[in-house]
Structure 1
Amino acid sequence: MAASQSVIDPTAGIVAHAIDSYRDILSAEALAFVAGLHRRFDARRVALLADREARQRRFDTGECPDFREDTRAIRESEWTVAPLPEALLDRRVEITGPVERKMIINALNAGAKVFMADFEDSSAPTWTNQVEGQRHLRDAVNGTIEYTNEAGKHYRVGPDPAVLVVRPRGWHLPERHLTVDGEATSGALVDFGLFVFHNAAALHARDRGPYFYLPKLQSMEEAALWNDVMDHAEAVLGLPEGSMKATVLIETLPAAFQMHEILHALRSRAAGLNCGRWDYIFSYLKTFRAHPDRLLPERGQVVMTVPFLKAYSELLIQTCHRRGALAMGGMAAQIPIKGDDEANDAAMAKVRADKLREVTAGHDGTWVAHPALVPVARAIFDAHMPTPNQRHVTRDDVSVSREDLIRPAVGTVTRTGFDNNVEVCLRYTAAWLDGLGCVPIHHLMEDAATAEIARAQLWQWLHHGPVEFSDHAPVSFALFDHALAKYRQRLRESTLPGAARADDAAALIAALTHADTLHDFLTLPAYDRLP
């Protein structure tokens, strides 16, 4: 056994890494609680992942997603979710970020209504990041979180912090640093289990949940699994049933056809649905990986006003408001551009336009990735949404068909867009391998979803040829290999995040792009390369 591992109890079958460094978080009692979740629910999780694979095989042979006939009664009958707690009625601006100590403090102080602390797409899941993130959140819940940087600047949480909502990892991600009965555990159950074990009682005592964002769901059955996990955790921890509330990110194409069903599966604890638009675009690409007639143009042209994304957004609003839930808008990834007022003004204008689109469509709130964007987004929602939310906006005018949700966008592929996909995918992957999951690139705060879109688009353009650039030259593997080598060298010679892992990242991206089949997730093979 490696020195970094400790057996908590040889008869219990629980093994965790670096236990002596994190005994306050990885206590025997906390790990026993997580082990209980694993033994009770992991077989079901694995079976649902097998269902995903079977579903994708059907898509690969020509089937397209559709509304389920066996759940028509859920969609057509009248029901609503349980009443929302006071703390979640006004969510007009939410800020998101990784579970890093300074980031947590700044986000809680940013003036947003909600801070989503992210163990998923904006965190590289090193064991250090995940466990220290739990420690930081425990300190935040207890009101003891502080931070002093190397220059002596001190950070602490102010008197009116944002409401805390936690996003655990998706069902597909493993946690190899904690095993139970010789099996790797689920990253989702580890993140959730450790957080609620240490914080549920304190949060519930203050009428703060605990509250969660649930990522990457594809079906109502996957939502039902989360519901049962929370039911069990509430019973074990002595919380009233329904104390834990969940907002589901609709960020997969299959889930867009089951929004009513997902809310119904979580109806005692559903707080809303969120337009996780970047991952949704990635899911569209992945779902139709074997459909050359459904290629998308370059990433910059796939905006929320294209028909399939507009239909998805409006259907989400209609569904949520019919069921009494909140309909959350998507992320503004822009960050302030220092030293270039004209470029910064243009970036902020894009944010305002995007938030105006959301609030006038009927969304109840929106996301930003940087504290400086909170007042920008809040001003738009304050001006157009004087009430805490817009559940009264029923959007009865919306009628979305299957074809509306799967119709591809029309556009082009430029050499600039192609190169940008190569560069962004490489730079993000290298930073992720170096332990950083939230990366500023070209004045945008990028997380794993952007790298996934870039990777999937490159694969499709190269494997479903002939695809031409806007100047009619063909997209080719030779151009891809040349661009990857160019940006790898630039990154190696820079001081940018991930410079030390440029070669590893380039090798991984090359292998995935040249592979005959588009891999489901970049983060799965990359996880094996983390320290």
Structure 2
Amino acid sequence: MNTTPSMTLERQRADAASARRPEPKPATGSFQTVEPRLEIAPAGATGGELVDRYGEILTPAALEFLAALHDRFAGTRHELLAERLQTRVDAANGRDPRFMPETAWIRDDASWRVAGPGPGLEDRRVEITGPTDRKMAINALNSGAKVWLADQEDATSPTWANVVEGQLTLFDFLRGDLGYTSPEGKQYRVTAEETPTIVMRPRGWHLVEKHLTFHDRAGRAMHASGSLVDFGLYFFHNAKALIGSGRGPYFYLPKLESHREAKLWNDIFVFAQDALGIPQGTIRATVLIETIQAAFQMDEILYELREHCAGLNAGRWDYIFSIVKTFRSRGRRWVFPDRKAITMTVPFMRAYTELLVQTCHKRGAHAIGGMSAFIPNRRDPEVTERALAAVTADKRREAGDGFDGTWVAHPDLIPTARAEFDAVLGDRPNQVDRLRDDVEVAASDLLDIPSIGGEVTEAGVRDNVSIAIRYLESWLRGVGAAAIDNLMEDAATAEISRSQIWQWLDNNTVTAEGTRIDQTSIVRLMAEAVAALPRFEGDRFDDAISVFRTVALEPEFPTFLTVGAYARFL
């Protein structure tokens, strides 16, 4: 393997060039222009179908709105994706992220503030995350959490059915008509007197929706943007209903790598509010800081979104993945130990979270903590006891550090998380007034990877292989959030597992037991992992192994495991 930065530079630059697309503009002179439009791809192996009630979401007016979004913003999206590729080339060749001198005026100006919470977002002490299928949505809405992160991103496998039916779930709930009957006949309904405020998370900028095709003014066809599709359909159908309910259209923005990407979202918000006749500033966004690049631009991201911003979230798992990905080929100094050794208490993670709280509070923004992966097991009291102890420690630390709220992935964890925040907040809705002037974080603190310590063990290698394959199998069947070994795994945690395998191979890593990690040993562990699992009709283990080989064993490192897997299999 041993791919050096220079070996991949030409390929990455070629990718960057191919990713660039100009903003569609009306042609002049002898070139004929056409009206931009967005249409459903023909039904078939990779096409979309208008089954059941899909036509209620994919209406002509909604598709026209999506086409307008793409007409104005698809070109900028492509330019920013090209900038991401160049940033990765720079990092591979030794250029570290930094606090940008050209935007120091934003960081140094103490006068500006963000819009802050909209109605229903003042108290966010416990947020429950989860996909938007009907059963999981009803459980979340009945959970007693303050906020439900309705996730169309890492907790959702983006099958055509999941994308459209997730929109139908939200559509029906906001019209008082959400129900579900299981195959066994069990009925689920929303019964809570007070339901959580919904904050919807669309897909990241790097993802497409291949079942919808955008035709630009020059007649060129391209896959639609997953971000614009998810945002656009939810906003178009539900913004006014949300406002009428006393809340509003609120969004979590994932995977941002720069303040320019934040500005693109802000421009989209301005356009969308004008298009639907909604007052400017009604939308509220919470940005996930889950890339190392974004960690150096938190002030700038808040500034670009200041008219629509409620806060930042510490997206811990994607953040760890981002660092492994960014520095994966920079030598042994950057090699990470076993995944379980990368905790929230290691120095570089402490620096990241403390800087996030400080940055948010000096700008009047909420700082929202991340999700502990531990989940309870109602059939195993010992597992539940360990999970509750781990979650208690995690949430006590977050509340003590100044976070205004936190995430959980299971309803049974809400009382535990709430108790820790209640102990700090009392009757206050948040602690934004706690400025954390005691925090001083330098660039070197955010990049202090060697201080993690720990080892790469044979058990850690085996766990990563097994977890990644089992998660991929689940994802390929359309289940994007999977309980594996009493941990909640989603796309972000699977990314850590496969990227660590790639890095260990690339650096000829030797385990603590003295075994060199090589392709032969990983292939053997793959076979052992699958052999130990029960096979069943319709399982996707063969496809999961194929995806894992591509994303963990090939010399070229795919930036996201979901991109190629989506193109091939969903």
- The TM-score, its normalising length taken from structure 2, stands at 0.89
Secondary structure in structure 2 of the residue aligned to 1:24: helix
- What does residue range 400-419 of structure 1 map to in structure 2 within 5 Å? 400-408=441-449, 409-419=452-462
Is 93-102 or 506-515 further displaced after alignment? Answer: 506-515
Structure 1 residue 118 displacement after superposition = 0.4
In structure 2, relative to structure 1, the CA distance for the partners of 1:24 and 1:521 (3 Å cut) is same
Q: Which residue of 1 aligns with 2:351?
A: 311
Question: Would you say 1:160 and 2:194 are equivalent positions?
Answer: yes
Q: Which residue of 1 aligns with 2:409?
A: 369
CA contact (8 A) 1:430 1:499 kept: no
Give 5+ residue unaligned stretches, structure 1: 1-9
CA contact (8 A) 1:434 1:530 kept: no
Residue 513 (structure 2) aligned to one of 440, 447, 471 = 471
Residue 455 (structure 1) aligned to one of 479, 498, 514 = 498
Residue 398 (structure 2) aligned to one of 334, 352, 358 = 358
Question: Would you say 1:424 and 2:456 are equivalent positions?
Answer: no
Residue 174 (structure 1) aligned to one of 184, 187, 208 = 208
Secondary structure in structure 1 of the residue aligned to 2:150: strand
Q: Tell me the percent identity.
A: 49
1:345 partner letter: E
Question: Would you say 1:382 and 2:416 are equivalent positions?
Answer: no
In structure 2, relative to structure 1, the CA distance for the partners of 1:83 and 1:431 (3 Å cut) is closer
Question: Would you say 1:394 and 2:432 are equivalent positions?
Answer: no
CA contact (8 A) 1:126 1:530 kept: no
Residue 100 (structure 1) aligned to one of 128, 133, 138 = 133
Q: Which residue of 2 aligns with 1:325?
A: 365
Is 147-156 or 363-372 further displaced after alignment? Answer: 147-156
Q: Which residue of 2 aligns with 1:215?
A: 254
- What does residue range 163-242 of structure 1 map to in structure 2 within 5 Å? 163-181=197-215, 182-242=221-281
User: How many corresponding residue pairs?
Assistant: 518
CA contact (8 A) 1:41 1:229 kept: yes
For residues 81-125 of structure 1, the C-alpha deviation after alignment (integer angstroms, 9 at most, x for no partner) is 124224111100000000100111110110100000000001010
Question: Would you say 1:488 and 2:527 are equivalent positions?
Answer: no
Structure 1 residue 226 displacement after superposition = 0.3
Secondary structure in structure 2 of the residue aligned to 1:15: strand
Give 5+ residue unaligned stretches, structure 2: 1-33, 41-47, 216-220
For residues 316-336 of structure 1, the C-alpha deviation after alignment (integer angstroms, 9 at most, x for no partner) is 000000000000001022222
Q: Which residue of 1 aligns with 2:310?
A: 271
CA distance in 1, matches of 2:116, 2:75: 32
CA distance in 1, matches of 2:328, 2:271: 37
CA contact (8 A) 2:119 2:247 kept: no
CA distance in 2, matches of 1:147, 1:28: 27
Structure 1 residue 499 displacement after superposition = 6.6
CA contact (8 A) 1:355 1:377 kept: yes
- What does residue range 502-517 of structure 1 map to in structure 2 within 5 Å? 502-517=541-556
Q: Which residue of 1 aligns with 2:85?
A: 53
CA distance in 1, matches of 2:36, 2:377: 53
For residues 6-65 of structure 1, the C-alpha deviation after alignment (integer angstroms, 9 at most, x for no partner) is xxxx97643212135411111101111011101110000000000000011000111111
2:207 partner letter: L
1:406 partner letter: L
For residues 306-357 of structure 1, the C-alpha deviation after alignment (integer angstroms, 9 at most, x for no partner) is 0000000000000000000000001022222234322321221000000000
CA contact (8 A) 1:298 1:413 kept: yes
For residues 384-425 of structure 1, the C-alpha deviation after alignment (integer angstroms, 9 at most, x for no partner) is 221210111111110000010011122101111110000000
Question: Would you say 1:15 and 2:57 are equivalent positions?
Answer: no
Is 19-28 or 167-176 further displaced after alignment? Answer: 19-28
2:485 partner letter: H
Residue 43 (structure 1) aligned to one of 61, 75, 78 = 75
Q: Which residue of 1 aligns with 2:479?
A: 436
CA contact (8 A) 2:281 2:307 kept: yes
CA distance in 2, matches of 1:159, 1:148: 21
Secondary structure in structure 2 of the residue aligned to 1:14: strand
Q: Which residue of 2 aligns with 1:114?
A: 147
CA distance in 2, matches of 1:40, 1:477: 46
CA RMSD across the alignment: 1.4
Structure 1 residue 297 displacement after superposition = 0.8
Q: Which residue of 2 aligns with 1:343?
A: 383
CA contact (8 A) 1:282 1:456 kept: yes
CA distance in 1, matches of 2:348, 2:116: 31
Secondary structure in structure 2 of the residue aligned to 1:413: coil
CA distance in 1, matches of 2:490, 2:553: 23
In structure 2, relative to structure 1, the CA distance for the partners of 1:12 and 1:311 (3 Å cut) is closer
- The TM-score, its normalising length taken from structure 1, stands at 0.95
Q: Which residue of 2 aligns with 1:5?
A: none
CA distance in 1, matches of 2:258, 2:214: 27
For residues 124-173 of structure 1, the C-alpha deviation after alignment (integer angstroms, 9 at most, x for no partner) is 10111100110110011112111122333222112210001100000000
Question: Would you say 1:147 and 2:180 are equivalent positions?
Answer: yes
In structure 2, relative to structure 1, the CA distance for the partners of 1:514 and 1:127 (3 Å cut) is same
